[in-house]
Structure formats: C-alpha cells, structure tokens
Amino acid sequence: MRTWHVSSLVLLPLLLASAVSATGLLSIEGAASNNNATTGNDFANSAAIGPIIDSAQTLNGAPPGTGSEIETVFASANYGILGVSAGGQVVGPVSVSALGASGNAFASFSDNLTIMAPGLAGMIGSVRVVFGLASFVSVDGGVGSGCSGSAQVSYGVVASLSGGGGSGSSNQSGTWTDYPCFNTHTFSGTPPGIFSLTAPVLFGSPAQLSVNLSALSNESWLDFASGSATAEGDFAHTLTWGGFTEVRDAQGNLVTNYSVTSDSGTDWSKPAPEPATAVLVATGLIALGASRPVRANRRNAQTPHWK
C-alpha cells in the first residue's frame, strides 16, 4: 500500500466574518458509482449562506459469488473553507465481470470583493493571496494472481480573481497511482500545500473571486482470486483561505492602509476560521466512516504554516 500524508492546516483564529448577505455563492457536487449498481448516489447543492455539506455512497452491486464494490464521496463549502473526499474499495474474487468503483466530489465558493485605499480609487494595483490544502491520500492496488487491481486518487484546485484591473489565476493538481501489475507506484503533479495567487486589481472596483476544489478516486479488481484494491483521497480538512499577504500600487509600493468589502460580508484580507467548519466536516466523515473501509495505519496529519 502506498500512503501519502500531507499537512493539515492550523486552526486559525476567528477572523473571517460570517456570510450574512448574499450574493456570493457556495456550491457542492458529488457522485459515486460502481460497475454494477449506480442509483441513489449523487448530490448537487448551492446556497448563498453556508456551510453546506452532503455525502453519497454506492450500494454494493457485485454479482452473487463475487466480492464487493463500494464508493463514498463527501463535500462541504463555506466562504474561505472547502472540503472534499472520495474513496472506496473493491474486493475480489471476480465471478463474471470486472469489479470497479469510482467517485468524484466538488466544492466551490465565489464572491465579489472590492479593495479600497485612500487616494488610489480608479487606479490599478495588485494583490497577493495565499490558501492551503491539507490532505490524507492512500492508494493500494492490492496483491493477487496476474494483473489484479489498481487504485488512483486525483485532486484539483482552481482559483481566480478577475475584475476591471485584469485577472490572475492559480491552478494546481496531482494524481497518485498504484498499479502493481506494471509496478507503477507514482505521484505526478503538484503536492498539496500552501499556494499563492497574484492578480491585478482596480482600486474601488469589484473583482470576482472564485475558488474550486475537486477530488476523484477509482478502484478496480480483475482477478478471479481473492484480494482488494482501495483508494482514499481525503481533502476534507481542508482547503482554507489564508488572506492577503500584500497589496501594492501601480508603482509596486506596498499599500497598508486598505480596506476590503464583499457581497457576502466576508473580509477576504484575513485568514478563514477553521474551528466551526472542522467540527461539521468531522461529523460528516464520522457518519461516512461507519460504512467505509478504514485502515488501521491512518495517522493524524501535521500542520503547515502560512508563508
């Protein structure tokens, strides 16, 4: 089994205002499927005020005399805090057809924000923001006769800020694969951690902030012998907004006396609070854990710090 432990984010002080007004938008989606039963296992929700949380799980549709194939997905969203997870397990032996399961989860927040500073209205400047993604990832293609199983987990983060001054974006992704048949035990892409985004801004003019987080997992088992393939991509503890690290004017001078307003009422210049949402996310995962395979060697993740 290949297991990656990537830091969990520090519980930050309650510095971000709650979403009280209302033209920002929170969205979550999820879908879990397997090769033989695919009903009643997806969700899609959106709201102006959060948090919003949902989950779904496949029924075991494996044919009689076969093992099992189960997948679970989870998503949560609030302003400045996103969480997703996708994972499952297929257990051989195969009797008639290949066993397989897959899941994907998506969460996002979007908002309109305005940065204001004395004497700079209508002028172009720039802002640098940070956000961090915590994760626990485990993929195990299993062991069996021949080319038995495979497991894979992927994540993606897309963040953008665009307005009258222009736009900036940060796109991050990564994939973990365990395919014993071809001796493939790899990670490709960007490891989860602390990311930054620099974008031009027009002082006094609204800019749209959008951040999206996704997770994908899939498992398969092709062998008539007993065995299993398991994947877990847990990004539910969480993607967290870290606030502005700097605001500059058109000449590159640091601006310190600025203020930020937003449609949702969120102060995006400051880090998001994690405690309340972390409890809600954990509650959802505990509920999912009752029907989801959990390995004994799972450890609590550590904590990276904002840079």
Query: 66 is written with which tokens?
Result: 């076969």
Residues in the chain: 307
- DSSP annotation of 120 reads -
Query: 97 is written with which tokens?
Result: 């057809």
Query: Given this model, what pLDDT does residue 66 score?
Result: 76
pTM of the model: 0.83
Residue 128 class from Cβ within 10 Å (0-12 exposed, 13-18 middle, 19+ buried)? Answer: middle
Contact criterion met (CB below 8 Å) for 218 and 73: no
How confident is the model over 54-77, as pLDDT tens digits? Answer: 999 987 877 777 788 899 999 999
* Domain residue limits, the chain: 2-289
pLDDT tens, N- to C-terminus, the chain (307 residues): 444 433 333 322 222 333 333 468 999 999 999 887 655 579 999 999 989 999 999 878 777 777 888 999 999 999 999 999 999 999 888 776 688 899 999 999 999 999 999 999 999 999 999 999 999 999 999 865 556 789 999 999 999 999 999 999 999 999 999 988 777 889 999 999 999 999 999 999 999 999 999 999 999 988 777 788 999 999 998 999 999 999 999 999 999 999 999 999 999 999 998 644 444 444 444 334 333 433 333 333 333 333 3
How confident is the model over 238-258, as pLDDT tens digits? Answer: 999 999 999 999 999 999 999
Planar angle of CA 277, 282, 285, nearest 5 degrees: 130
| Three-state secondary structure readout of 83-103 | EEEEEEEEEECCCCCCEEEEE
Query: Given this model, what pLDDT does residue 288 score?
Result: 40
d(CA 222, CA 14): 49
Phi, psi angles (nearest 5°) of residue 254: -70, 130
Query: Given this model, what pLDDT does residue 306 score?
Result: 31
d(CA 259, CA 262): 10
